[in-house]
Amino acid sequence: MDMKDVETRGLVLLGCGKMGSAMLAGWLAGGLPATSVWVLDPKPSDWLQGTGVHLNKDLPDAPAVVLVAVKPQMMGDALPTLAAMGNGETLFVSVAAGVTIATYERMLGAGTPVVRSMPNTPAAVGRGITAIIGNGAASADHVALAEALLSAVGQVVRLDDEGQMDAVTAVSGSGPAYVFHLIETLAAAGVEQGLSPDLAMALAKATVGGAGQLAEDADEDPGQLRVNVTSPNGTTQAALEVLMDEASGFPALLSRAVRAAADRSRELGA
């Protein structure tokens, strides 16, 4: 099974909010014909209505892929309508946070190929990272197809087991919010030191965005990049002595934050 199968048998996108729209835009830009895509969405955007996809129309009986992008709380209403496609050749790919593979198998049948994934919001600008894991019914080709589809919005990594998904949720799924808050607080600290709010925010956004790009592109690891910009007894070292404090700095703070997110993910998936 590959993208040719998707073109000929079709892809069903269940839900087309921000994440679904980002993926659909990536597929269309990559050459997937709009006529190969069926979208079910109760409140389609103007953009979606102009794409040329089959919108809220009768679905093919056995599409190559159903990609589930509705909110987890809507799953109970949405999935049963597609139960007839379970236990067959249709691959179900989930981007719904906290919904376990067991839930899909219970609603669709134990023989249904399922790939569970956790993307993140930078997918909206093609800079996401998505972790995936397949169930027992998902073949190597199924997982490769899911990876190809999700690569439309950024990087894809494969997990060893589904239990890792809670940690992924806590690091990369929720992580963009941590970075946004870092930008907020870095800018606020700049204002405290005499900068205007607009200038402080511009500096904070560009610094975090640029440092993130440098961390991705550089051969050195982030620890070495940190050392590279830290002059002995300089300004950066003065700040890092605060941020790297084992009791009150980033090590303890981020450990607690990520643990709290992972614990909550486990509760939601229970």
Domains 3-165 and 175-269 share a fold: no
Strand partners, 40: 14
Q: What is the pLDDT of residues 254-264, one digit of tens each?
A: 999 999 999 99
When the pLDDT of each residue in the chain is averaged and rounded to a whole number, the result is 95
> What architecture is domain 175-269?
Orthogonal Bundle (1.10)
b (16+ CB within 10 A) / e for 24-47: bbbbbeeebeeebbbbbbeebeee
Sign for the CA dihedral angle at 265, 95, 171, 144 comes to: positive
Return the higher-pLDDT residue of 5 and 177.
Answer: 177
Other beta carbons within 10 Å of 154: 19
pLDDT attached to residue 270: 67
Q: What is the pLDDT of residues 201-227, one digit of tens each?
A: 999 999 999 999 999 999 999 999 999
pLDDT attached to residue 98: 83
Q: What is the pLDDT of residues 93-131, one digit of tens each?
A: 999 888 899 999 999 999 999 999 999 999 999 999 999
Range with lowest mean pLDDT among 27-31, 75-79, 102-106, 195-199:
75-79
Say which CATH topology domain 3-165 has: Rossmann fold (3.40.50)
Contacts of 259-265 with CB under 8 Å at 24 or more apart are: 259/170, 260/170, 261/169, 261/170, 261/174, 262/166, 262/167, 262/169, 262/170, 265/97, 265/98, 265/165, 265/166, 265/169, 265/170
- Cα separation of 132 and 264, whole Å? 20
> C-alpha distances in angstroms, 87 versus 110, 111, 119, 140, 183?
7, 4, 25, 17, 47
Tell me the two tokens of residue 62: 């056995």
Q: What is the pLDDT of residues 160-177, one digit of tens each?
A: 999 999 999 999 999 999
| Residue ranges per structural domain of the chain | 3-165, 175-269
pLDDT attached to residue 188: 98
Q: What is the pLDDT of residues 36-71, one digit of tens each?
A: 999 999 999 999 999 999 999 999 999 999 999 998
